[in-house]
Amino acid sequence: MFSYRHAFHAGNHADVLKHTVLIATLEHLLHKDAALTVLDTHAGAGLYRLDGDHARTSGESAQGVARILAAEAPLAPALQRYADAVRAFNTGRAARVYPGSPFIAQRLLRPHDRLRLFELHPTDARTLSGNVAQLEAGRQVAVLREDGFAGVRRMLPPPSRRGLLLCDPSYEIKSDYGRVQELLQDALRRFSTGVYAVWYPIIPRPEAHALPRRLKTIAQRAGRPWLHAALTVKGSRAPAGAPGDERRGGLPASGMFVVNPPYTLQPALTEALPQMAALLAQDRHATHLLEVQE
C-alpha cells in the first residue's frame, strides 16, 4: 500500500503538466480578495532533491523540468510562470530542488488563504511535516496524516465558499480510479462551485482510459463545465523494428481534468500545450489534447 514514492518521479513531464495547470488555475482564483482554501489529497513530501538518490535513479526530471528550464526560445506565458515557480526554489539555471504541489501552492497563496495537505505514506508524511515547518506559515498550512480521499470531504464546502481541490493519487492500486470518481461525485454534491483538478496517468490499463470519460459524465450530470488536457511524450510500445513487442519503460502520457475551470485556463493551455509537447517529446508520438465543455 505504501510502495509509491513521488521522489523517483519529481519534475517529470507529468509534473510539468500538472503544475502548469495548478499555477494557471490558482493565479486566476487569487484575483478575488475573498479567502481561498486549497485541498491536496496526496501531498507527498512537498520538496524533492533532484540530485538525490531517488531522482537520480529514475532520471525523469532530465526529460521534464530540466528541458523547460533549458529552453532557448521564449516560453508560453503559463509555461514561463511554471519555470519561474521552480526557479524560485533554486539558484542558478539548473534545478536541484523541485517543489511539489504543496510548496507551489503555498508560495502563491496570501496570508488569509488556507492550505490543507493530506498524506498517508508514513515516511512522506514525516518529511512533509518537517518541510512545512520551515515555512513558519502558522495556521495557513496544515498537514494531515490520513487518507485524503476521505479527509477532504469534511472540509467541503470551505468556510469562505471558495476552494480548489487537487487530487493526484499514484493509481498503483486499481481502486484509486473508482475512488477518484466517488470523490468528485460527492464533492460536487457538497460544494458544486468548487474547482476540482484531477491528475491521472495515461497507461495501457482499461481503468485509465475510462477515467476521463467517466469524469466528463459526472461533471455533465452535475451541470458543471469541465476542461481536459493531456500530454503524450512518447509511444507506449517499443518502436518498429525493436525486438519483440515489449512495453516501453516509464510513463508515456498523463492528463489533467478540471471541473469548473477558470475561463482563463483554456487560452493559457492553448498556447502552452503545443510547446510543452515539442520540448518534452521523446519520440515522434509526442502530442497533446485539449477539450472543453462549457
User: What is the per-residue pLDDT for 241?
Assistant: 44
Confidence (pLDDT) at 240: 44
Q: Mean of the pLDDT values across residues 266-278?
A: 98
Q: Which of 168, 176, 186, 283 is catalytic?
A: 168
CATH of domain 6-293: 3.40.50.150
* Per-residue pLDDT band at 55 (split at 50, 70, 90): very low
Is 168 annotated in some ligand binding site? yes
Max mean pLDDT range (52-56, 90-94, 285-289): 285-289
56 has pLDDT over 80:
no
Q: Which residue has the higher pLDDT, 38 or 240?
A: 38
Residue range 223-245, pLDDT digits in tens: 999 999 999 999 976 444 443 33
**Is 136 annotated to bind ligand?**
no
pLDDT of 123: 93
Q: How confident is the model at residue 95 (pLDDT cuts 50, 70, 90)?
A: confident
> Is 28 marked within a binding site?
no
Q: Domains of the chain: which residue ranges?
A: 6-293
Confidence class of residue 277 from pLDDT cuts 50, 70 and 90?
very high
Average pLDDT over residues 237-263: 72
pLDDT value at residue 145 = 96
Task: Give strand pairing partners of 97.
Answer: 49
Round the average pLDDT of the chain to a whole number and report it: 92
Report whether 19 belongs to an annotated binding site: yes
Has 33 been annotated as catalytic? no
Residue 247 confidence (pLDDT): 41
For 99-150, what is each residue's pLDDT tens digit? 999 999 999 999 999 999 999 999 999 999 999 998 888 889 999 999 999 9
pTM of the model: 0.93
Residue 156 pLDDT: 98
Amino acid 24: pLDDT: 98
